[in-house]
Amino acid sequence: MTDAALAGELAAACGRLGLDVDPAAMPRLAAYAASLWSWNERLNLTRHTTPDAFAARDVADTLALLPHLAAAERVLDVGTGGGVPGVILAIVRPDLRVELCDSVAKKARAVAEIVKETGLRLPVHASAAQELVAARGRGPDRFDTLVVRAVAPLEKLLRWFEPLAGSFGRLLVIKGPRWEQEKAEARHKGLGKKVSIRRLAAWPLPGSDNESVLLEIKARAG
């Protein structure tokens, strides 16, 4: 399938779902999907390998972040895997200063090639996000927002980032229906005392009665 044909299929899939994507972004979104799926044949990066699945899960999740990101924010995609949501964010919101990181070196190398093949210029770091955040925490390149999807339970995320809560603006975490249980488990283990956790948004999870939610985690005032 050509990129032009794929762009048309993606536009149709987004339309069926009521997803508002700028038509001008579709060619690059198609180029990204094509590159991601090609690399997926060599390295397991995604399960969403059709236009409908890509739109319903990857595009829908990314669009849910947009109302909560100010112009020109510096954003780090934590554990980017195949580049979601970071690459899609960079495509639909070119004002954002997006960087990607993955501690698995072969995934970082793959996504760096995907970014290049998509025609984007995004920094890709083969390192743990905690190290990057800590190094940037007191300088001009401090991250405003860390975005996280399908990386780890809340308990693990809090163990990684709660000690660094003063080194970045906030976490935006996409979670599934178990988020409240994960939050309770983290609290039970003494986590979450230095940060606030609140639900910002929710949207249907296609093919089920469940929903995805967007959580904001940031340092408590004072």
For residue range 15-62, list pLDDT tens digits in order. Answer: 999 999 999 999 999 999 999 999 999 998 999 999 999 999 999 999
- φ, ψ dihedrals at 81, nearest 5°: 65, -115
Are 98 and 62 in contact, with CB atoms under 8 Å apart? no
- Report d(CA 128, CA 52) in Å as an integer: 32
Report how far apart, in Å, the C-alpha atoms of 126 and of each of 40, 65, 102, 129, 199 are. 18, 24, 5, 9, 30
**Tally of CB atoms within 10 A around 88:** 25
Are 212 and 202 in contact, with CB atoms under 8 Å apart? yes
Average pLDDT over residues 125-135: 96
Residue 222: what pLDDT?
Answer: 64
Tell me the pTM.
0.96
For residue range 83-126, list pLDDT tens digits in order. Answer: 999 999 999 999 999 999 999 999 999 999 999 999 999 999 99
Residue 137: what pLDDT?
Answer: 87
Q: Where are the domains of the chain?
A: 58-219
58-219 under CATH 3.40.50.150, yes or no: yes
Residue 139: what pLDDT?
Answer: 85
Pairing of strands 170-175, 211-219: antiparallel
For residue range 176-214, list pLDDT tens digits in order. Answer: 989 999 999 999 999 999 999 999 999 987 777 889 999
Residue 42's SS3 state is coil
